[in-house]
Amino acid sequence: MDLEKSVNPTSTLLNQCQPNQYPSQPVSTQPVPISTSVNPTSTHLNQCQPNQYPSQPVSTQPVPFSTNDLPISTSDRDNQYPSQPVTNSTSDHLSQYQLNQLCEVERSVASLRADLPPAVEELRHAVETFRMRLETTEHLSWLGFYKKGIGEPLGNLGNSHPYWKNVQYRRKAEEEVTTVCSKFREICDGVVGLDTQELLRLPSFNNWAWKDWEILFLLQHMYNDLGLLSKFGIETEVFRKFLCRVYHCYNQVPFHNFMHAFCVTQMMYGMICKCDLQRRLGDLDVLILLTSCVCHDLDHPGFNNIYQINARTELALRYNDISPLENHHCSVAFSVLERNECNIFKNVPAEDYKKVREGIIRCILATDMARHNEILSDFREIQEFSFENRAHVNVLFMVLIKVADISNEARPLDIAEPWLECLMQEFFNQSDLEKLEGLPVSPFMDREKVTKPSSQCSFIGFVLLPLFEALGTVLPELDVRHFDFLF
C-alpha cells in the first residue's frame, strides 16, 4: 500500500529518523499508559512515514524467497474491493423520495426472495453456484466472467455456501507477498536500534511509520528479545517462513489486516515487558500469548460473525454459528503450523505442545466480542488472583489478549485515529453489503446512523474501561494512576 509519506508532527518516532538508522533520540520515551481519551478530530489514513532500515545491519545478504512454498496456493487474486458501494455513491445524488422508493423496491425484492418456492430456490442456488464457478475458475476465464482475486477460503472448506459469497475482498497478490518477504530477507539479519527497541515496548509505538517488511523484522525482534527462539529450539529459518506465511494469510481488508495483528502483538509484548510476565508466567506462556496475537485474525474477510451467521456462510455452517471467525482464524493458524517448514513448535516436547495448542485456541477464541461479558465476569469473580493457580492464569490469558485486541484507544490520538477510520470503513462495507442482500444491519455499522463520537463513547465506557480496570487490579503496573506524568 502506497501511503502518503507526510511527516507526522506528533509522532514520537518519525521525527527522529536518521539516515541509515532506525530512529534515534526520540523526543519522548515516556510510556503512554492505557488511556481512554476520545479523539474528537478526524485524520486521514495517509500517515505512513518515510522510514529507515535498521541501524548497522549485520548482514544484508538477500535470501531469495519465493511464495511457491507457501502453504496456500494462490493465483493473483487482486480483485476490486467494494470501497464505494453502489448504495452509498448514488445516495448523495438522490432525493429523499427517490431513496424511499429505492428502499421500498429493495424491501419487496428481499421479501420476494424470502418467499421463493423450493424449486425456484433450488434453481437460484444452482445459478448462483454456476455463476460463482464461472467467476472463480481461471481456466474458464476466456468466457469473460472470471474475476481476478475473488477470495477463496483458506483450507478446504467446501463450496456449498462459500463464506466469500458476494464478498470481494482482497487477498494479497502473490507478487506483493514475494516483494515484502524478499525485503524482509534483506534486513532480517540486522539489529533493531536501541531507541526502537525502547519504543517497541510502549503503547506510543507508531505502527504507521513502518512498512510491512519492517514490521516482520520487528516481530522477529520481539521473539528474539524474549529469548523464545533459543529457549524452544525454533530455527531462525523456520521462524522467518512462519512469519511470511502469516503475512500471506492476512487479507487486505481495512481493519483486520496484518498491521492490526502486529499492533495487538506489540501491545502484548509491551504488557509482557512492563509487567514482567515472563518471570511471573514462564517462557511457555509468553510464547503462547505472543503467537496467539500474531495469528488471532488470520484470513479475516472483513465481515464479522453477525454477517457470517445472517448470510449463512460456509464458516457459520461449519462452526454452527459459534464464533465462526475465531474458529477459522485458529484453524488457519494451525494449518500453517502443520507445515513442517514453518512449524515453529516442532522442537517443543509433546507435553508442552499440548499446552501450546490449548493455550492458543483459548486465546484466539476469547477474542470473539460476543464472549466479552462472560470472560470479564469470570475474571472479576476471581477473589484472590494467584499466578500459581492455572484456572486463574487461563482467564488472565483471555483478558490479556482481549485488552491487546481493543487497545487502539489506549494509544496516542494520532495513532489511534486512523485505526478508527479503518474500522468504520470496514463496518460501512459490511452494512452496505447487508443492505444489498436484505440482511439485518447493525446500527453501529450503519453509515447513516453511527457517529464516531457516540460510538467511541459507548465503546470506551461500556467495553474498554471496565476491562482495563479489571486487568489493572491484577496487574497494577498497567493502571493509569501509576503514570504520574499524566496528571
Nearer to Zn ion, 314 or 405 (CB): 405
The answer to whether the beta carbons of residues 227 and 55 sit under 8 Å apart is no
If the CB atoms of residues 49 and 251 are measured against Zn ion, the closer one turns out to be 251
Is 300 labelled a binding residue? no
**Is 329 labeled as catalytic in the residue annotation?**
no
Q: What mask, x for binding Zn ion by CB under 5 A, covers residues 386 to 425?
A: -------------------x--------------------
To the nearest whole angstrom, how small is the minimum distance from the Cβ of residue 300 to Zn ion? 8
The answer to whether 405 is annotated as binding is yes
Task: Give CA–CA dist 108/312, Å, rounded.
Answer: 21
Residue 415 to residue 10: CA distance in whole angstroms: 9
Sort 284 into a burial class: Cβ within 10 Å, 0-12 / 13-18 / 19+.
middle
* 256 in a known ligand binding site: yes
Helix (H) or strand (E) segment spanning residue 278: helix 277-281
Taking the complex as a whole, how short is the minimal distance between the CB of residue 260 and Zn ion, in angstroms?
6
Closest CB to Zn ion among 11 and 266? 266
Q: Let me know: does 227 contact 97? Beta carbons within 8 Å.
A: no
Q: What mask of x and - would describe binding to Zn ion in positions 221 to 260, judged by CB under 5 A? A: ----------------------------------------
Nearer to Zn ion, 405 or 432 (CB): 405
Taking the complex as a whole, how short is the minimal distance between the CB of residue 297 and Zn ion, in angstroms? 4
Q: Which of 248, 256, 329, 392 is catalytic?
A: 256
Backbone phi, psi, residue 425, to 5°: -60, -40
Q: Please state, in angstroms and rounded to a whole number, the distance separating the CA atoms of residues 472 and 487.
A: 18
Residue 222, marked binder: no
Closest-CA residue to 137 (of 75, 70, 67, 68): 75
**Residue matched to cell numbers 523456520:** 238
Minimum Å distance from CB 219 to Zn ion?
15
- What is the DSSP annotation of 333-383? HHHHHHSGGG-TTTTS-HHHHHHHHHHHHHHHHTT-GGGHHHHHHHHHT-S
Residue 345 labeled ligand binder: no
Residues in contact with Zn ion, total (CB under 5 A)? 2
Task: List binders of Zn ion among 135-194 (CB under 5 A).
Answer: none
Q: Alpha-carbon distance 385 to 367, whole Å?
A: 22
Is 334 annotated in some ligand binding site? no
47 is in an annotated binding site: no
What values do phi and psi take at 170, rounded to 5?
-85, 125
Site string for Zn ion, 50-79 (x = CB under 5 A): ------------------------------
User: Grid coordinates standing for 145?
Assistant: 466472467
* Least distance CB 475 / Zn ion (angstroms): 21
State the nearest-atom distance from the C-beta of 413 to Zn ion, in Å. Answer: 20
Closer to Zn ion by CB, 173 or 406: give it: 406
Q: Name which position in 176, 297, 409, 421 contacts Zn ion (CB under 5 A).
A: 297
What minimum distance in Å lies between the beta carbon of 16 and Zn ion?
Answer: 29
Task: Quote the least distance from Cβ 247 to Zn ion, whole Å.
Answer: 16
In angstroms, the CA 104 to CA 433 distance is: 17
The answer on whether 257 is annotated among ligand-binding residues is yes
Q: How many CB atoms lie within 10 A of CB 112?
A: 10
- Other CB atoms within 10 Å distance of the CB of residue 403: 23
Closest to Zn ion by CB, 285 vs 405, is 405
**248 known ligand binder:** no
Cα separation, 68 vs 423, in Å, equals 32
The Cα–Cα gap between 360 and 355 comes to 8
Nearer to Zn ion, 195 or 299 (CB): 299
* Cβ-based neighbours of 358, under 8 Å, separated by 6 or more: none
Is 132 or 361 the residue whose CB approaches Zn ion more closely? 361
The residue type of 335 is S
Closest among 362, 149, 154 to 246, alpha carbons compared: 154
List residues forming the annotated binding site: 256-260, 296-297, 405, 456
List residues forming the annotated binding site for AMP: 256-260, 297, 405, 456
Show which residues are catalytic.
256
Q: Give the footprint of Zn ion on this chain (CB under 5 A).
A: 297, 405
List residues forming the annotated binding site for Zn(2+): 260, 296-297, 405
